[in-house]
Structure 1
Amino acid sequence: MMGRLIGMLLLAGVCVAPAMAQLPDRPNFYQSDMVMKNACSKAELGRLQKEVVAAAGGNAAHEAWTLAAKMLCGQSAEARKYVLERTANPFKVRAGGDEEGAAVRKAKASSLKLVQMEAWDTSVVSTGNGVSVMYSSGDVCVASFEMAEVKGKWKIVATGEACD
């Protein structure tokens, strides 16, 4: 099963070579006896794929997973091109709080930055109209990106970050 997952990621153009090595865990800033797992480790990739596919549902669920995997773990120019082609233009950028308290602005798709394996303690939530992927960026910040199906294709429609 894991070999099949890694094979699918290779076909999707996601750089998984670092995922084969042990990616560093990070200490949990709020619970010192716990660690945060890197999203691009083998175990986390398997868990996240199941969660994204389940949250996305439908026939294009694997397209949502490919987009999420490239956003989280992609490091190549090809991965960036893939993600940018599947980013709403403009997309929403939320900063500094929850939905109600966040400052929201619009940004050009070309300004989107890949996470490049700097994601820990990642979770996936179905939003009703899409999928939200939330993660720690390795410090006291929590970041996210939201994907939605737009005209039959999964696209990144929003990003966000809040720091303590």
Structure 2
Amino acid sequence: MHINNSQANYIDHRQNRTPNISNNLGVPTPNKSERDTVSISDAGLNATASWQNIANNYDVTNISQNEMANMVSSLLDEQLVSSTDGLYLMAPRSMNVDPEMKFDLLATTEKALSFAKENGGPVDGIRSQERVVDILKNLQELFSKT
């Protein structure tokens, strides 16, 4: 299962930051009897399957504007991305684009992020672009597994 940065930050924020250590006369020793368990809900499992299904249909390194629109619609319909991330994904990469011409969406988005960082883009915009790059990398990794 793949977890994007925003999910990982949420999980990290929610976890108890107290180390699993007991004190024995001032010398910390690990508690060997305690175990961490993780349960994945049916919704989580369904989300994983939805990510894979969408990734199977779209190569984000060779995608047209029309395919990109369909991909974003699928991501939004499955509630896998926020509407803000969907807007960032849908933004045309140039003004006069042939909607059927294929391009490397991942590389183009990474280049736009790099440009924004180098030129002092707004922090919120950079964060949104970072999330979008993470989404695209996740989709590309899942696509590569097919």
- TM-score class normalised by the smaller sequence: under 0.3
Where is the helix percentage greater, Structure 1 or Structure 2? 2
Normalising by structure 2, report the TM-score: 0.27
Normalising by structure 1, report the TM-score: 0.25
Point out the structure with max Rg over C-alpha: 2
